[in-house]
Structures are given as structure tokens and as C-alpha cells.
């Protein structure tokens, strides 16, 4: 391994790696069965989400998805060498969606100052164009009256055009698309301009964050993990974070706190039982998240029910609203999964994010944070991104190497990410 590879590779440092090595060994040994099972699942369901990104956490003893984004940003963080793989996957997606379609209208978030996000939109537009799709960007920015061209730090330009509604059809001036591709997670609700549109809208409006709940998603994921685990004879807990949810919560008024504290306790006990079973010497923790939250907002880690009761005003304020100031009334309590992967010589904590288009894994990157800990949310200010080297594209396991060699570890990531995608497909349909 040369120095460049060393630099580009993440380190997995954990005292407890028995079960995960077992898991990676299992995945490799059942490689053909796994791919066949996944093929049959997609064949039965027909339609994968157009795209998705999955946040994974690798604790050494456990590898699990902790969030699945159906409106992924961050395409600009992928290795540019993955573009051909993205293009091929987009072509597959379009064949399945609508073979005669050639025009796509992309609707992004209403961010105009988040340049990282706009770079992602530009990268996504380029991928669609290279796949032979006529693509235009229809913006829902309320004050956009005429087309506006932004020049990004990468020197790329991005032309935003006002979205037009006529009858049951949305368009931008002179361009009526066959397909409307949402890259806007609809946190603020289903936009009236997109209701009763006769064109195909993907993902459908009902999976926007105005109606989607993480708890519903993870219910699907648990079932997928259960079915998959039966196939390869593993404990589903190794790939599935435990979770619970409560009724209505009001952090400011401290309403619903007792239920929350009780559930935190119950969940910590359940995690502890599994940690004991596998001799895991770490302290269980629980992640409290807005059930309809995104952008890493409205998230906190707790190690005991007492921490809930002792939240100060600042903490409670932070847990009261998420993106766009939307208030949080429901939370999901999820088993915290340690990440024992680090990046670079200073040991910055890292977690992988895997990208899929259609039902294909197309690449990924590490979210890296130099000041956050192994049991903290890395999707926070100060985060940076390191693309997975293309050669580790999550689809090229090598049975001649050790189960934990990079291509094999990344293959495991690709498998778990596809299970997360399958759960999303069930959630959507």
C-alpha cells in the first residue's frame, strides 16, 4: 500500500471486532445469495427510489444505518471518477421510470447562499445531462421572477428558473418535463404548486419531511433487516439499531417528558442486554431525534433518563425546532451506534455515507469531524468530507483478501446501504 492509499483510507479502531468480522465474513461467504436475494426483492417491488444516501455507523461490533435521505445532497463530495457509474445508474432508472422520457425538471431546495448545496445540484445536473437527459432547474424560491444564473466557487454556473404551474402541469418557460425530480425535502409542507400534477413526481410528495417519520421508516428497516438476517443466519441486531418512539412532546413546556424518560430507560436497558451478550465494554447511549427532522438538526445524545429531565433552556430550545424553524413535536429514540472509524493521522472521527441511484450503489464519502466524539452526531458545523476512493466503490468485494480489507468492508457498507434503500422502497410504495 503506498502512502497515498494510506492517506485516503479510513482506520477502524475497536477493541471489539469479533461480531463484525463475523458479519463481514458472513456477507462475503453469502455474496452470491445476497445479490440473488436483493435481485428478487427488487424484482418483486419493481421500483427503487430514484436516489438516496444512507448514513452508516460502524462500531466494529455493529454496522447499521442511522439515517436514509431520499433527497440527497452532497453529490459534489463523491469522487469525480464515480460519474460514469452514476450515469449508467441514471440510465437504468430512466428505463424503469419512463422509457420514452427525455426531459427532467429538477426542483432543488430554496437555498441561495449554501454554496455547498448548490455545487451538489450542479453535479447532479451534470450527471443527468451526461446520461442524455434534457434537464432544467425549476426553483420554488418565492421571490424568483426571472431566470437567474449563479456562478459557483467551482466556476460552474447554475441557472435557476421560476417554476410555472398551468393546469395539471408544471414547467419552466419553454420546457415541459416528463418527470419532476425533487431534491427538496419539503420540510415546510407539500407545496400547493405540486399538488395534483399529472407529470410523475419522484420521490412522491408523501415522503417529504412534512409527512415522513423516521419511526415509520425504521419500522420498515427492522423488517428488512429481520428477513435479510434469516437469509444469512445472523442476529439482526448486528445491522439494526433498536428504537422507540413516544407521543407528542413539547420540549419548551416539558410536556411528554415522563414518557420520553421511560422510553430512554427501556431502550438503554435493551442495548445493555445486547452489549452484555456480546461482551461490548462500552456505555450504551440513545440518540433523540426529531421524528421528521433533517440536516442533522434536532438531534441529541443521552446516556441516562436523568439527562432528559436535566435539560437546560438552551438545550431544550435547540430540540424544539429543526430546519426552516419547523417545530418538533415528535421524536424517535434510536440506539446510539458508536463509530470507531477515524480519518487521518489525528484520528478525526468518521462515518461513511453511501450513495445510490436506482438500486445501484454508485459511491460514497466519509463525513469527518475533528472535534466530535465517537458517540456524537457528525452532521454538524465543522464537518468535512473525504470521498471514498473510486476503486472502493462498495460493489467490488475481493474474496482473496481478508474480510476486513477495504474492498470487503466497503462491500459490507454497500449491502447494508441497499437494505436501507429497500426499506425506503417499501416505505414509499
- Binding residue for its own copies, selected from 43, 46, 314, 346, defined by CB under 8 A: 43
- Binding residue for its own copies, selected from 5, 11, 29, 39, defined by CB under 8 A: 39
Find the shortest distance in angstroms from Cβ 392 to its own copies.
9
Nearer to its own copies among residue 237 and residue 360 (C-beta):
360
Give the x/- contact pattern for its own copies in 358-377, rule: CB under 8 A. Answer: --x-----------------
Find the shortest distance in angstroms from Cβ 86 to its own copies.
9
Task: Show Cβ contacts of residue 325 under 8 Å, excluding neighbours closer than 6 positions.
Answer: none
Instruction: Please check whether residue 106 is in contact with residue 135, taking contact to mean a CB–CB distance below 8 angstroms.
Output: yes
Instruction: Please check whether residue 363 is in contact with residue 85, taking contact to mean a CB–CB distance below 8 angstroms.
Output: yes
DSSP, collapsed to helix, strand or coil, labels residue 427 as: helix
Instruction: Please check whether residue 34 is in contact with residue 232, taking contact to mean a CB–CB distance below 8 angstroms.
Output: yes
**134 touches its own copies (CB under 8 A):** yes
Nearer to its own copies among residue 134 and residue 324 (C-beta):
134
- Tell me the C-alpha distance between 331 and 333, whole Å: 7
Task: Show Cβ contacts of residue 106 under 8 Å, excluding neighbours closer than 6 positions.
Answer: 121, 124, 125, 128, 135, 136, 137, 138, 181, 183
Segment near its own copies (CB under 8 A), from 64-72, 96-104, 113-121, 198-206? 96-104
- Binding residue for its own copies, selected from 103, 148, 159, 165, defined by CB under 8 A: 103
**5 touches its own copies (CB under 8 A):** no
Q: Which residues ranging from 255 to 314 are in contact with its own copies (CB under 8 A)?
A: none
Nearer to its own copies among residue 135 and residue 292 (C-beta):
135
Instruction: Please check whether residue 362 is in contact with residue 78, taking contact to mean a CB–CB distance below 8 angstroms.
Output: yes
**94 touches its own copies (CB under 8 A):** yes
- Binding residue for its own copies, selected from 11, 114, 132, 176, defined by CB under 8 A: 132
Spatial strand order in the sheet of 243-245? 243-245, 331-335, 286-290, 299-302
What number of other Cβ atoms are within 10 A of residue 400's Cβ?
8
Burial (Cβ within 10 Å: 0-12, 13-18, ≥19) of residue 147 = middle
Find the shortest distance in angstroms from Cβ 363 to its own copies.
9
Nearer to its own copies among residue 40 and residue 176 (C-beta):
40
Burial (Cβ within 10 Å: 0-12, 13-18, ≥19) of residue 166 = exposed
Find the shortest distance in angstroms from Cβ 146 to its own copies.
24
Find the shortest distance in angstroms from Cβ 156 to its own copies.
9
Q: How far apart are the first and last CA of the chain?
A: 45
Burial (Cβ within 10 Å: 0-12, 13-18, ≥19) of residue 314 = exposed
- Binding residue for its own copies, selected from 1, 32, 145, 345, defined by CB under 8 A: 32
Find the shortest distance in angstroms from Cβ 154 to its own copies.
13
What number of other Cβ atoms are within 10 A of residue 199's Cβ?
19
- Binding residue for its own copies, selected from 85, 121, 158, 416, defined by CB under 8 A: 85
Find the shortest distance in angstroms from Cβ 38 to its own copies.
8
**154 touches its own copies (CB under 8 A):** no
Nearer to its own copies among residue 100 and residue 146 (C-beta):
100
Task: Show Cβ contacts of residue 423 under 8 Å, excluding neighbours closer than 6 positions.
Answer: 68, 217, 218, 220, 221, 223, 224
Find the shortest distance in angstroms from Cβ 236 to its own copies.
21
Give the x/- contact pattern for its own copies in 381-420, rule: CB under 8 A. Answer: ---------xx-x-xxxxx---------------------
Nearer to its own copies among residue 371 and residue 399 (C-beta):
399
Instruction: Please check whether residue 209 is in contact with residue 293, taking contact to mean a CB–CB distance below 8 angstroms.
Output: yes
What number of other Cβ atoms are within 10 A of residue 310's Cβ?
10
- Binding residue for its own copies, selected from 33, 195, 248, 277, defined by CB under 8 A: 33
The footprint of its own copies (CB under 8 A) covers: 31-36, 39-40, 42-43, 80-81, 83-85, 87-89, 91-92, 94-95, 99-103, 129-134, 360, 390-391, 393, 395-399
Amino acid at each position: 500500500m503506498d502512502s497515498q492509499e494510506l492517506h485516503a483510507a479510513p482506520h477502524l479502531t475497536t477493541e471489539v471486532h469479533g461480531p463484525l468480522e463475523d458479519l463481514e465474513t458472513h456477507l462475503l461467504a453469502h455474496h452470491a445469495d445476497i445479490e440473488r436475494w436483493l435481485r428478487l426483492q427488487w424484482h418483486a417491488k419493481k421500483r427503487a427510489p430514484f436516489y438516496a444516501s444512507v448514513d452508516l455507523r460502524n462500531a466494529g461490533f455493529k454496522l447499521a444505518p442511522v439515517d436514509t435521505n431520499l433527497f440527497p445532497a452532497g453529490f459534489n463530495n463523491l469522487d469525480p471518477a464515480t460519474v460514469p457509474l452514476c450515469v449508467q445508474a441514471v440510465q437504468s432508472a430512466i428505463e424503469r421510470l419512463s422509457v420514452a422520457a427525455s426531459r427532467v425538471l429538477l426542483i432543488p431546495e430554496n437555498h441561495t447562499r449554501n454554496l455547498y448545496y448548490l455545487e451538489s445540484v450542479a453535479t447532479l445536473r451534470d450527471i443527468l445531462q451526461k446520461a442524455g437527459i434534457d434537464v432544467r432547474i425549476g426553483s420554488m424560491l418565492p421571490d424568483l421572477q426571472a431566470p437567474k444564473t449563479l456562478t459557483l466557487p467551482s466556476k460552474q454556473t447554475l441557472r435557476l428558473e421560476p417554476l410555472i404551474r398551468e393546469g395539471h402541469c408544471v414547467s419552466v418557460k419553454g420546457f415541459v418535463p416528463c418527470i419532476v425530480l425533487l431534491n427538496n425535502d419539503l420540510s415546510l409542507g407539500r407545496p400547493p404548486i405540486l399538488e395534483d400534477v399529472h407529470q410523475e413526481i419522484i420521490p412522491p410528495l408523501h415522503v417529504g419531511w412534512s409527512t415522513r417519520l423516521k419511526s415509520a421508516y425504521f419500522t420498515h428497516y427492522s423488517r428488512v433487516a429481520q428477513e435479510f438476517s434469516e437469509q444469512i443466519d445472523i442476529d439482526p441486531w448486528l445491522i439494526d439499531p433498536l428504537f422507540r418512539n413516544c407521543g407528542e412532546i413539547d420540549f419548551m413546556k416539558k410536556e411528554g417528558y415522563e414518557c420520553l424518560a421511560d422510553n430512554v430507560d427501556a431502550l438503554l436497558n435493551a442495548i445493555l442486554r445486547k452489549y452484555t451478550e456480546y461482551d461490548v465494554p462500552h456505555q450504551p447511549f440513545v440518540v433523540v431525534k426529531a421524528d421528521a427532522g433533517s440536516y442533522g438538526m434536532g438531534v441529541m445524545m443521552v446516556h441516562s433518563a436523568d439527562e432528559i429531565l436535566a435539560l437546560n433552556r438552551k438545550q431544550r430550545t435547540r430540540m424544539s425546532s429543526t430546519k426552516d424553524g419547523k417545530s418538533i413535536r415528535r421524536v424517535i429514540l434510536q440506539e446510539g451506534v458508536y463509530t470507531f472509524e477515524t480519518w487521518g493521522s489525528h484520528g478525526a472521527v468518521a462515518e461513511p455515507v453511501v450513495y445510490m441511484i436506482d438500486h445501484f450503489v454508485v459511491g460514497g464519502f466519509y463525513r469527518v469531524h475533528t472535534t466530535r466524539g465517537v458517540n456524537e452526531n457528525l452532521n454538524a458545523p465543522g464537518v468535512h468530507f473525504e470521498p471514498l476512493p473510486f476503486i472502493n466503490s462498495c460493489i467490488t468485494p475481493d474474496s482473496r483478501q481478508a474480510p476486513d480489507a477495504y474492498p470487503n468492508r466497503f462491500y459490507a457498507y454497500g449491502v447494508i446501504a441497499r437494505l436501507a434503500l429497500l426499506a425506503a422502497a417499501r416505505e414509499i410504495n
